A and B are shown apart, each in its own frame.
Chain A
Amino acid sequence: MDELRLYTYIAVFGTFGLYFAIAWWARAGSTSDFYAAGGGVTPLQNGMAIGADWMSAASFISMAGLIAFLGYGGSVFLMGWTGGYVLLAMCLAPYMRKHGKFTVPEFIGDRFYSQTARTVAVICLILASLTYIIGQMKGVGVAFSRFLEVDYDMGLYIGMGVVFVYSVLGGMKGITYTQIAQYCVLITAYTIPAIFISLELTGNPIPQLGLGSTLADGSGVYLLDKLDMVVTDLGFKEYTTAKLGSGINMFAYTMSLMIGTAGLPHVIMRFFTVPSVKAARQSAGYALVFIALLYTVAPAVGAMARFNLMNTIEPAAGENLVYEERPQWFKDWERTGLLKFEDKNGDGKIQYVADKEANEMVKVDRDIMVLANPSIANLPNWVIALVAAGGLAAALSTAAGLLLAISSAISHDLMKGMLTPDMSEKNELMAGRITMTLSILLAGYLGLNPPGFAAGTVAIAFGLAASSIFPALMMGIFSRNMSSKAAIYGMISGIGVTLLYVFQHKGIMFIPGTSFLGGMEPNWFLGISPNAFGVIGALVNFGVAFIVLKSGEEAPQEIKEMVDNFRSPHGEVAAAHDH
Chain B
Amino acid sequence: MSDDNSEEKILENQNSYWQDNLRLILTCLVIWFVVSFGFGLLLVDVLNEIRIGGYKLGFWFAQQGSIYTFLALIFWYSKKMGELDKKYNVEEDS
Contact = CB atoms under 8 A, between A and B. Distances in A.
Contact of A83 (B70, B89, B90): B70
B86 to A, nearest CB: 11
A285 B89 CA distance: 24
Interface stretch (A49-57, A71-79, A463-471, A508-516): A71-79
A570 B66 contact: no
Mostly, the A contact residues are helix
B85 A569 contact: yes
Contacts of B24: 90
Nearest to A43: B78
A83 B52 CA distance: 23
Contact of B92 (A82, A299, A570): A570
A79 B67 contact: yes
A79 B36 contact: yes
B90 A91 contact: no
A269 B85 CA distance: 24
Contacts of B68: 292, 296
A567 B14 contact: yes
Contacts of B92: 276-278, 569-570
Interface string B75-91: 10110011001000111
Contacts of B3: none
Interface in B16-68: 17-18, 21, 24-25, 28-29, 32, 36-37, 40-42, 44-45, 48, 52-56, 59-60, 62-64, 66-68
Contacts, number: 137
A75 to B, nearest CB: 4
Nearest to A72: B59
A85 B92 CA distance: 23
A345 interface: no
A252 B68 CA distance: 22
A240 interface: yes
Interface in A120-161: none
A357 B62 CA distance: 33
B36 A83 contact: yes
B36 to A, nearest CB: 5
B41 to A, nearest CB: 6
A448 interface: no
A274 to B, nearest CB: 12
Chain B CB count within 10 A is highest, among A89, A214, A251, A289, for A89
B83 to A, nearest CB: 12
A241 B59 contact: yes
A225 B37 contact: no
A213 interface: yes
Nearest to B15: A564
B93 interface: yes
Given A570-B90, A570-B91, A285 B53 contact: no
A82 B77 contact: no
B66 A89 contact: no
A569 B74 contact: no
A255 B40 CA distance: 13
A416 interface: no
A46 to B, nearest CB: 14
Nearest to B66: A79
A476 to B, nearest CB: 15
Nearest to B94: A276
Interface in A458-493: none
B70 A568 contact: no
Contacts of A90: 24-25, 28-29, 74, 77
Nearest to A572: B93
Nearest to A567: B18
B60 A285 contact: no
A251 B82 CA distance: 33
A542 interface: no
Most buried by B among A82, A90, A296: A90
A85 B74 CA distance: 8
Nearest to A563: B18
Nearest to B56: A240
Given A247-B42, A284-B74, A570-B92, A78 B32 contact: no
Given A86-B70, A208-B64, A569-B91, 20 more contacts: A67-B63, A72-B62, A74-B63, A75-B40, A78-B66, A78-B67, A89-B78, A90-B28, A211-B55, A212-B53, A213-B53, A225-B54, A241-B44, A241-B48, A241-B59, A254-B37, A278-B81, A278-B82, A299-B64, A570-B93
* Nearest 8 A/B pairs, CB to CB: A222-B54, A75-B62, A570-B90, A212-B53, A285-B74, A299-B63, A281-B78, A212-B55
Interface of A: 67, 72, 74-75, 78-79, 82-83, 85-86, 89-91, 94, 208-209, 211-214, 222-225, 240-241, 247, 250-251, 254-255, 276-278, 281-282, 284-285, 288-289, 292, 295-296, 299, 564, 567-571
28 contacts: A72-B63, A79-B62, A82-B67, A83-B36, A83-B70, A85-B70, A85-B74, A89-B74, A90-B29, A90-B74, A209-B53, A212-B55, A224-B56, A240-B56, A241-B59, A247-B41, A255-B37, A278-B82, A281-B81, A285-B78, A292-B70, A292-B71, A299-B63, A299-B64, A564-B14, A567-B21, A568-B14, A570-B89
